Structure 1
Amino acid sequence: MAPSRIVMVSGFTAAGKTTHSRLLATALGWRYVSMSRIRRSYVVGSSSSEEEWIPEGDRLRSANTALDHEMDRRLAELVESSDEPVVVDAWLQPWLCESKNAVRVWLHSDFSSRLLKAQVSRLRSGLRPSPVIRTTIADKDAFSVEHFRRLYGIEFGPDPDIFDLRLDNSEWIGEATIRASDEGISRFAPIFNMHVDAILQAGKDGT
């Protein structure tokens, strides 16, 4: 089997997909491609320069499902046309990508850890911790599961028939501080990169 030129990272909101996809791309010397960047250009109001998860964005997507189809098409185009190997940070591409040789990674983080990470994301943007972050993330999770089922019939989650690798990022943050987050990232990133690289080196037939 030919060496993989695509790694796709999926997981629920605030699991650490963006952070660890970027770090992986840097470590590999590969291109980084993100659905979040595409979403901002297609769904005005889905996020701001300070705040990533704004409920209005999901309301717009729910009312106009063509937005998601167009965003997924655009992301697929970017991946397929890339002359460089790519690390893709995206919710659905592990299901939608037709390449059997792509490495598909599910990044798990339990709900409590994701709440801490979401608060740290706000702190990094100069915002105060949100008193409603639990509701924000819970609503986002529920929307994502239902929306992807509605769009594609996909049961969003760590499907062992889809993912080549499933890693748990739950234990690496103990409190909602930038320092704790940075320490957790620095400890988990080598583990994440090592496991992905092992698959890349072995080839999918060797995993």
Structure 2
Amino acid sequence: MLRRPAGAGVRRLVLLSARVWAELGEEHLATERAVQASGLEWTVLRPTWFAQNFTELDFIASPLAGPGELRLPTGEGREAFVDLADLADVAAAALTEDGHAGRVYVLSGPRSLSFGDAVAEIARASGRPLRFVPVTEDEYRADLAAAGHPDAVADELIVLLRHIREERGATVTDGVREALGRPARDFAEYVARTGFGTLREPVS
């Protein structure tokens, strides 16, 4: 897979991985290992969950834009949500600037938030009474089944959300500063920039 770019004169590779894969075990890092063995200048990006998941990931965004109630089995677990704008800036720097080869950047936002915290910030910005409701994994699986999602999707989501409930992604890292020389954008900046105008009225 990686012989073709090398043969075409490609010098640098930047891989979008995820912090969760490294924390779940070596078996999830096969692609990272292939990139690192490519012989090219490589950089690996391991971000936390994206702040933009609240507007772009259907199982989070749709409940907020619709009934205004987000039900997840994450409890009070926190995640240091990273802004995709920071991820894009780091990727661009790694592709176009020297000094990033052989680096693994673990990227997070500057503070950890529970889903309840994040929904409360979005509610204030949107002017809607949005709610986060913690549920059990069995309740969440039933919710997904009622929405028509197959068991395989439920299995994957529950593993990822359990990772948050256990606060395995709550640690704030300095990867954005290491790569760019500036602090990471705060979740509040993402909320203010987004505006959440589409959440001001429930979707009928």
TM-score w.r.t. the length of structure 2 is 0.29
TM-score w.r.t. the length of structure 1 is 0.29
Q: Which has the higher helix share?
A: 1
| Greater Rg over alpha carbons, structure | 2
